[in-house]
Chain A
Amino acid sequence: MTANTQLKFEEARSFLLSLAKERGVQLEVFAQRGTETTVQAFGGQVSEFKLSSKQGVGLRALSNGAWGYAYTENLSRDALSRAFRSAVENAELVEPAPHAVLAAHAEPPAMDLFGEGLSGVTVERKVAVALRLEQAAKESDARVVTVPYAEYSDGESETAVANTEGLDRAFKELHAYQYLGPLVAEDGQNKMKMAFQVTREFEELDPTATALEATRKALALLGARPAPSGVFPAVIENECMALLLAVFSGIFSGKMVEEGKSPLASKLGERIGSDLVTILDDATLERGLSSRPFDAEGYPSAPVTLVQGGELRGFLHNTETAAKAGVSSTGHASRPSYKGTVGVSPTNFVLASGEGTRDDLLTQLGTGLLLTDVQGVHAGANPITGEFSLQAEGFWVENGVVAYPLDVFTVAGNFLDLLRSVEAVGSDTKMSIYGAIAPSVRISSINVGGQ
């Protein structure tokens, strides 16, 4: 390997597009670049400081009706040419996709995801956020033994999509976020809980509030008692409901439907949840974690309703899955990064809110389970069948109030049964770290594995 001269981001794109035009190949270039700063605090000091700068291009060539992919982080002319040849060669191996098309899609909406930017934020202020997280947690309660995780992180990035059909668009975004996990102990019991805050403006971060939230959550788990085994009515707290929603969002993917992997495949127009269930996806939400003006194909973003009053109204699509299904793209083409292939993914995936606070739902519940978190979703939840069996965290509720926390236990069920068993939807909407948004819900029953 020689230390080849690297082209600038924009130069790399136009170099690739001109290569493609010379060879008569239709090409899409998906490019990302960004910088990040991460500060971890431990023991009153900065334990880790990370600066990063990353860029890369993902190529998708449409050659003889078939897609071929390649990517490179090396932006030398040689490496870019190699990636281009590789994409064309890969297209020759792949089955032609009858609906494959590259186009200059309609103009995307104007969105500001960058705010004031980070250029005016000094390193000292970032460090202060990380240190404050740890300190505030330690000061909050004598039972906080240590804070193994306390981190501030920010990033500025640019995503660009261009193709040989004349599409060329880009957007910039910023995130600033903080999280911490204090370890609390009492009577030989250890508990740890994470809390986080993500924003698009540095000034909005409130480390003390996040630290207090994490400690409060961890302390609430002390004094846990064995959970009973059985079937119980339950309230699923907003953040946990948002997590479940994110995990099973794949069942609404037009790609999963097309490939026979969604349990909703033949249910369009049918009732799949209680009439209190309305689910939508909105990439244009002003404060959404996953907001963006256009998708990985450059297709403009717009909100889409998937379930209305319990009835399945549609699926998420990119241009290809949409064409196969005889509908229009919903603007949900996704790429995990320039390394990945184009699929279908949700953005801000939302369970619409209803009426009443979490406490109102608990009052209605009377006696049963308050489910506050689940773990192990990557293995214990199966979007192909809808089944789940997961490590859980929660509280026993008696006479409408939280009685005591529960030792580690499990919850099991099927996500579609869960949607059908919704008896009340709260108004306390919260965004999970996975980008899904949900209020607390009350369901008629869930299987609990404990003692």
Chain B
Amino acid sequence: MLDRELVSEVLSVARAGGADFAELFMEDTVTTNLHLLQGKVKDAGGGNIYGAGLRLFYGTNVVYAYTNDCTREGLLEVARAMARARGQGGEVDARGAGGLDFRSLDAQKLWNVREHPLRTSKQAKLEIARRAYGAARVGHVKTVDVTYIDVAQRILVANSLGDWSEDERVRSRLMVSAIAEDGSDRATGYNGPGAALGMEFFDGDLPERAGAEAARIANAMLRAGYAPAGKLPVVIGNAFGGVIFHEACGHILETTSVAKKASVFADKLGEKIAHESVSAVDDGTIPGAWGSINVDDEATPSERTVLIENGVLKSFMVDRLGELQTGYRRTGSGRRQDYTFAPTSRMRNTFILEGDKTPEELIAGVEFGLYARTMGGGSVSPGTGDYNFSVNEGYLIRNGEIAEPVRGAALVGNGAQDLLNIVGVAKDLSRGQGMCGSLSGSIPTDVGQPHILVSEITVGGRA
């Protein structure tokens, strides 16, 4: 993407104020966005994200800058401004002088994209969206929105240690929203499968399944009553149900909060923090998975990181800065939305591993509780561990059986406490796709889990 000599010069100029480390990130990203409302093409757009970010470390302090002007003069101008940013400009530090001899990292190619979206017509992409729409028009569904997205992000990361890494990340996604209506009752359903794959992701009946799932939820919830309020045992569904682990636990295992002691798990490495039935990983190496990466945004190869093993905290998610701050080994977790963000430690594909129960066994053990079958999103306050997430599709459990549907409720609690309350884990692991928002922007991540039983969670419904 850029000439090696130029990159070397830019990094050297940026370090002229005495920085310990300099890194350049550049991207050239092409996106396609198609939006179908009621089967008709409402919007067609997309475009070109194009820019470069430069990062300097002075000890563990960071200077970051970005620009859209990736010409030689544009980049050098930013580098010079950065060298002056700490007010000690002008002095050329010994470490800043001289050219860099870049070595390309051994290219870790975990999977290949077969059908590149840029070589596929937009008509073919619209056809995929239309198939999802057709499958969603069932029962009482009156309104269907389908959004088709593909992204091809070409990146370059190079740093003053001599690391040089280039990659292309292709991602495809379909998002279906269905609104069911009957008289004055309304309910919504959603499904949004995605992958780090090209058009081959849509092979088979994936579009139909996505449409049908959104419609199924909307129809199921149309005549639902309100969930009860208070503390109840809750069985949480698999796939996107894993958002509970993502919010309640994942975010506070990122070194960004650990390093500032703004995490309730900061000093707990090697300690038991969850029920012994709980093991969890953050795995960036699953071929084609939505949150997978060959290499992170700091040129560290991706890996499978075991976070919790049989209830014991095994590792945090560590980026380059987190490694400097905490001394923990880097885990290839440095990620960012785009060049406008400095990378921070982030999740990739995070999920709870399989246990030995069946979902039916978990439900059978509950006399009165909630079955949270599909989930919406959530959030957490890292300092306190207080989290929330919303139930899109819920049912009451009465005498060990699934009973009447209840409308979306919030589940709230405290991550450190509720991990200990996961008392049963089934063997039906699957994953769901989402966009995770945090300090370094919005990035694709998978959440996942088998069905789990939590002995007690506060359910926000109507008393």
Contact = CB atoms under 8 A, between A and B. Distances in A.
B231 interface: yes
A106 interface: no
Contacts of A412: 226, 229, 409-410, 460-462
Given A42-B260, A449-B460, A450-B230, A93 B126 contact: yes
A387 B408 contact: yes
Contacts of A73: 47-51, 68
Contact of A261 (B85, B143, B227): B143
Interface string A68-95: 1111111100010011001001110111
B164 interface: no
A72 B50 CA distance: 8
A443 to B, nearest CB: 15
Contacts, number: 263
A124 B342 CA distance: 22
A47 interface: yes
B410 A56 contact: no
Interface stretch (B198-206, B305-313, B375-383): B375-383
B46 A389 contact: no
Contacts of A70: 45-47
Nearest to B460: A410
Nearest to B187: A385
Given A70-B46, A148-B257, A410-B460, A93 B412 contact: no
A56 B340 CA distance: 13
Most buried by B among A67, A375, A410: A410
B289 to A, nearest CB: 22
A47 B229 contact: no
B379 A68 contact: no
B47 A390 contact: no
A75 B262 CA distance: 41
B458 A408 contact: yes
Contacts of B390: 376, 379-380, 389
B384 A192 contact: yes
A93 B48 contact: no
Contacts of A56: 68
Contacts of B68: 6, 53-56, 73-75
Instruction: Report whether over half of chain A's contact residues are helix, strand or loop; otherwise say mixed.
Output: strand
A390 B410 contact: yes
B176 interface: no
Nearest to B43: A341
Interface in B9-58: 28, 33-35, 37, 40-51
A191 B384 contact: yes
A209 interface: no
B383 A183 contact: yes
Interface stretch (B70-78, B95-103, B290-298, B351-359): B70-78
A325 B387 CA distance: 42
B62 interface: yes
Interface string B186-208: 11100000000000000000000
Nearest to A383: B188
A4 B74 CA distance: 11
Interface residues of A, number: 80
Instruction: Report whether over half of chain B's contact residues are helix, strand or loop; otherwise say mixed.
Output: strand
B7 to A, nearest CB: 11
A54 B260 contact: no
B2 interface: yes
A447 interface: yes
B86 interface: yes
A142 interface: no
Contacts of A54: 51, 66-68, 340
B428 interface: no
B18 to A, nearest CB: 14
Interface string B431-462: 00000000000000000000000000011111
A382 interface: yes
A181 B381 CA distance: 11
A343 to B, nearest CB: 9
Contacts of A94: 41-44
A339 B32 CA distance: 11
Contacts of A339: 47, 49
Given A95-B42, A387-B408, A49 B67 contact: no
A74 B226 contact: no
A382 B463 CA distance: 20
Contacts of A183: 262, 383-384
Nearest to B185: A385
A42 B260 CA distance: 8
B45 A51 contact: no
Given A6-B68, A71-B47, A408-B413, A259 B37 contact: yes
Contacts of A390: 388, 410, 460
Contacts of A378: 377, 379
B63 interface: yes
Contacts of B40: 95
B74 A6 contact: yes
B4 interface: no
B186 A376 contact: no
A50 B416 CA distance: 33
A364 interface: no
Most buried by A among B37, B67, B72, B384: B384
A261 B1 CA distance: 44
B82 to A, nearest CB: 7
Interface in A26-79: 42, 45-56, 58, 67-75, 79
Most buried by B among A95, A148, A389: A389
A79 B28 CA distance: 11
Nearest to B408: A389
Contacts of B2: 3
B26 to A, nearest CB: 9
B423 to A, nearest CB: 20
Nearest to A52: B66
Closest A-B pairs by Cβ, 8 of them: A410-B460, A69-B45, A449-B229, A391-B388, A71-B47, A379-B377, A148-B262, A90-B44
18 contacts: A52-B340, A53-B68, A71-B45, A71-B46, A72-B48, A74-B28, A83-B47, A83-B48, A94-B42, A123-B87, A183-B262, A191-B384, A192-B384, A375-B379, A385-B186, A409-B460, A449-B461, A450-B230
Given A79-B48, A375-B381, 19 more contacts: A3-B71, A6-B68, A48-B342, A49-B62, A51-B65, A53-B78, A58-B47, A70-B45, A74-B28, A74-B48, A123-B85, A191-B384, A229-B230, A260-B142, A376-B390, A410-B409, A412-B460, A448-B463, A450-B229
